[in-house]
Structure 1
Amino acid sequence: MHRIAAAAVLACALAAPAAAPAESFSATVAAGHPPVFRWVRMIDEVFEPKVQEALEGTEHSITFSNQFGGAIAGVGEELEAIEVGLAEIGTCQALFDPAKLAVQNVTYYTPFVSDDVRQVATLMHQLHQQEPAMTRAYEDNGVVYLGAPIGIDDYMLMTNFPVESLDDLEGRKIAAPGAAINWLSGTGAVGVSGNLTTYYNELKTGVYDGVIVFASAALPGKLFEVAPYITRFGLGAQFAGALCANEGWYEGLPQEVKDALHEGADAAMTWYHDELEAAVETAFQKMEEAGATITDASPEMRREWAAGMDNAAKEWAEGLDAQGRPGTEILSAYMEAMREAGAEPLRDWDRE
């Protein structure tokens, strides 16, 4: 955080009130993750070219300067960097910035709702467009939601032991990211906070016995080498973040440029999920070829896991309500939207 704080003074000094519409604009684009990640690749491979294409024939142009891999903001620091003007555009990572983008983490508090990543991302995008309570979190932090939701494919369990029933999880140390650690309540497993950067080594050295992870990351992370038992429980696809822009900079743009940014974000959203779905299919195939044992949990096991969980969603929502934030409102809106879209949640987290 110190890099942002130190540079914020310079950024503020250089900032100027929005001028009359100009022909040429520039934007620094920040991402804490390196460009090997699909949600970063979509920026320079799809978003930016589509914005340029949309501006063809207009009087306007825009030049992008990409600062990826923590060059000006680490993972979870992007929103603040955009807010203070170090970058005009970037990935606002809700999963890694739960304090500022709390309501955006609604999917991580509602497992067993849908394993369809495109469905989850599309519904979250629609909520951002239709629910003022959803975009209020961005407005409160001086940024604007552009789109290009970052969907995460269905989470599963990878272990160094076979899982034939939930009893097999008793006393086992299982790592999970962020709010997903709540999913382990009632299973008998010991939840450990973890992330992709440490999973392989921690599994290899026996710090924990398994991880909750998604296939598109498990393959490149070679987790099947140290946790070869893959059990697909349908824990659910997730929303992890999106592209956002500095509010002052955005509001100073001509409408044609604003429209181009959103058009670029729409194109990036489609490309990202096309790529992701293909990657998931390939991941399971290659992990199985490498010797992983892939099992689909029985409906009975899935229901048992879901039924035994604490309703962390209600606690989360009520906690936000107490802070004056629309937790219950967003929880209800998300669950209703998912049910209307055809999802069949194993538990109606909002109605209990």
Structure 2
Amino acid sequence: MIMRHLVGALALGALVTLTGPVSAQETIRLRIASGHPPVNTYVNLMQNFFVPEVTKRVAAKTKYKVEFVEGYGGAMVKVADTLEGVQSGIIDIGGYCFCFEPSNLPLHAFQVMLPFGTMDPVASVKIAREVYDQVPFMSKVFEDKYRQKLIALIADNGYNLGTNFEWNNVADLKGQKLAGAGLNLKWLEYAGATPVQSSLPEAYTAMQTGVYNGWIMFPSGWVNFKLYEVGKFYTEIGFGAITWHGLTINKARWDKLPKEVQDIILEVAKEYEAMTGTVNQANYPKQLDELKAKGTNVRKLPDSVQADWAKSLAAWPKEKAKELDAQGLPATQVLEATLAAAEKHGHKWPVRYSIK
């Protein structure tokens, strides 16, 4: 009997030696990056919510362990190269603005094509999600053309106009060099300003040296990049809170992940998407107060000024829809769906755009 137990124990010991410790976890390494630094709300949430939550939940709920290699602020990819970085597999997961992909993702700036939309980022991301759900092309194009999977949409805070000069009406902007990113340059063009393409990492120096005199920007950008030092005026004109960033993962890498890890990533990504709305919403008044404390002249112009600007842009959404329709994109469908979704969420347009 003793011999039989001894043999059994030796056999079990040999099995453990061959297979390794029962509690051992297989490690999955994922490279996650953004061209923007963590002072940007969405990157901060990548670093401080998405990464730790995926790590924690995978460890707790599966036999796997996820280790993230993080690279923000251009350490791995620049702001305009993130889509390509995910596509090529240089990084596995990327957070980026579709504004820097006007050729690859021309329709994904659809909320920009309807200026003076909701200023509520919570509503903005819900509206965008409804449009993506109604129009499958919006998600499928990432997989079909760019070898990546869209796992979360990202809301920005409400866009206004920061400048180094005071202005009171649209006519005051005529000829002024003002910066934007991608399609929102059209907002400036129709107002008579001189639009300049730019990105936040270069904004301070460009404002300081007179490359341009203002920026279409949400208040967090004005605070976090210290633009209040070179632009003392921040005017609430209410262009809208735009959802035109996304979080994507390389499709080949995704397909190799265990199903239970995929499920956790999607679960956390859904929560992350909602948080880009709620965190931005909570931060907006705080950031305006901070700008005031820094000596910035923060003010809100009368609704009539917004209406005048909107009137100057009234024909543009229809023109843009026709242009993109001609490229085989479902632009009219997307813009019509956006108008309807925004109104369902209670938004009233200063000018009701006609798309068809």
- Smaller-chain TM-score bracket: 0.7 to 0.9
Name the residue aligned to 1:120: 124
Contact 1:134 1:330 in 2 (8 A): no
Q: Is the 8 A contact 2:94 2:249 kept in 1?
A: yes
1:27 aligns with 2:54: no
Q: Structure 1 pair 88/350, CA: closer, same or farther in 2 (3 Å)?
A: farther
> Which of the residues 61, 66, 69 maps onto 1:57?
61
2:161 to 136, 141, 157: 157
Q: Which residue of 1 aligns with 2:258?
A: 254
Is 1:216 the counterpart of 2:220? The answer is yes
Deviations 1:293-337 (A, max 9, x none): 222111111111100126333333222222222222222222221
Q: Does the 8 A contact of 2:125 with 2:274 survive in 1?
A: no
The count of residues paired between Structure 1 and Structure 2 equals: 330
d(CA) in 1 for partners of 2:83, 2:139: 14
SS of equivalent to 1:107 = coil
Would you say the 8 A contact 1:171–1:189 is kept in 2? yes
- Contact 1:49–1:264 (CA under 8 A) maintained in structure 2: no
- Specify the SS of the correspondent of 1:197: helix
Aligned equivalent of 1:11? none
1:201 pairs with one of 199, 205, 224:
205
Cα offsets for 1:142-170 (capped at 9, x unmatched): 111111x2221111122233222223223
Distance 1:327 1:171, change over 3 A: same
**Match of 1:162, as an amino acid?**
E
Q: In the TM superposition, what whole-angstrom CA distance separates every residue of 1:14-43 from its partner, at most 9, and x where no partner exists?
A: xxxxxxxx9543322122223333222222
Does the CA contact (< 8 Å) of 1:145 and 1:242 recur in 2? yes
Task: Say whether the 8 Å CA contact 1:331–1:350 is kept in structure 2.
Answer: no
Q: Matched residues in 2 for 1:204 and 1:84: separation?
A: 36
Matches within 5 A, 1:53-92: 53-55=56-58, 56-92=60-96
Counterpart code for 1:153:
N
Distance 1:350 1:134, change over 3 A: farther
Alignment deviations for residues 96-128 of structure 1 (CA, whole Å, 9 cap, x no partner) = 122222221111221111111121122223333
* 8 A Cα contact 2:36 2:79, kept in partner: yes
- Give the % identical residues: 28
Per the alignment, residue 170 of structure 1 pairs with: 174
Q: Aligned-residue CA RMSD in angstroms?
A: 2.3
> Which secondary structure state, in structure 2, belongs to the residue aligned with residue 91 of structure 1?
strand
Tell me if structure 1 keeps the 8 A contact 2:314–2:351.
Answer: no
Q: 1:235 Cα shift? A: 0.9
Q: Is the 8 A contact 1:28 1:65 kept in 2?
A: yes
Moved more, 230-239 or 290-299: 290-299
Q: What is residue 307 of structure 1 aligned with on the other side?
A: 311
* 1:247-281 deviation line (CA, Å, top 9, x unaligned): 12223333322110011112323443343233322
The separation in 1 between residues aligned to 2:202 and 2:90, in whole angstroms, is 29
Whether 2:196 is the aligned partner of 1:192: answer yes
Q: Which amino acid aligns with 2:188?
A: L
In the alignment, which of 135, 144, 150 is matched to residue 145 of structure 1? 150
Is the radius of gyration larger for structure 1 or structure 2? 2
SS at match of 1:325: coil
8 A Cα contact 1:46 1:267, kept in partner:
no
Q: Please state if 1:180 is matched with 2:184.
A: yes
Q: Which residue of 1 aligns with 2:320?
A: 316
- Structure 2 CA distance for partners of 1:131 and 1:237, relative to 1, 3 Å: same
Distance 2:314 2:131 in 1: 26
Q: Which deviates further from its counterpart, 124-133 or 323-332?
A: 124-133
Aligned partners of 1:198 and 1:279: how far apart in 2? 23
What one-letter code is carried by the residue in structure 1 that aligns with 2:106? A
Residues 209 and 216 from structure 1, CA distance in 2 versus in 1: closer, same or farther, beyond 3 angstroms? Answer: same
Q: Encode CA deviations 1:41-84: one digit per residue, 9 max, x unaligned.
A: 22231112222333323333322222333333211212222222
| Gap runs ≥5 in structure 1 | 1-21
- Taking structure 1 as reference, are residues 347 and 23 closer, same or farther at Cα in structure 2, changes over 3 Å only? farther
Q: What do residues 172-211 of structure 1 show as CA deviations (whole Å, max 9, x unaligned)?
A: 2222222111112442322232332333333333343332
Give the secondary-structure state (helix, strand or coil) at the position aligned to 2:115: coil
Distance 2:255 2:205 in 1: 46
Distance 1:160 1:120, change over 3 A: same
In structure 2, the partner of 1:95 is 99
Looking at structure 1, the residues matched to 203 and 72 of structure 2 have their Cα atoms a distance apart, in angstroms, of 23
Letter in 2 for 1:283: Q
Partner of 2:48: 45
Note closer, same or farther for the CA distance 1:38–1:299 as it changes in structure 2 (3 Å cut).
closer
* Contact 2:116 2:239 (8 Å CA) reproduced: yes
TM-score norm. by structure 2 comes to: 0.84
Distance (whole Å) between structure 1 residues aligned to residue 69 and residue 33 of structure 2: 9
What's the TM-score once normalised by structure 1's chain length? 0.85
Structure 2: 5+ residue runs without aligned partners?
1-24
* Equivalent AA in structure 2 for residue 96 of structure 1: F
Amino acid in the other structure paired with 1:163: W
Alignment of 1:331-342 (within 5 A): 331-342=335-346
- Residues 68 and 289 (structure 1 numbering): CA distance in 2 closer, same or farther, change over 3 Å? closer
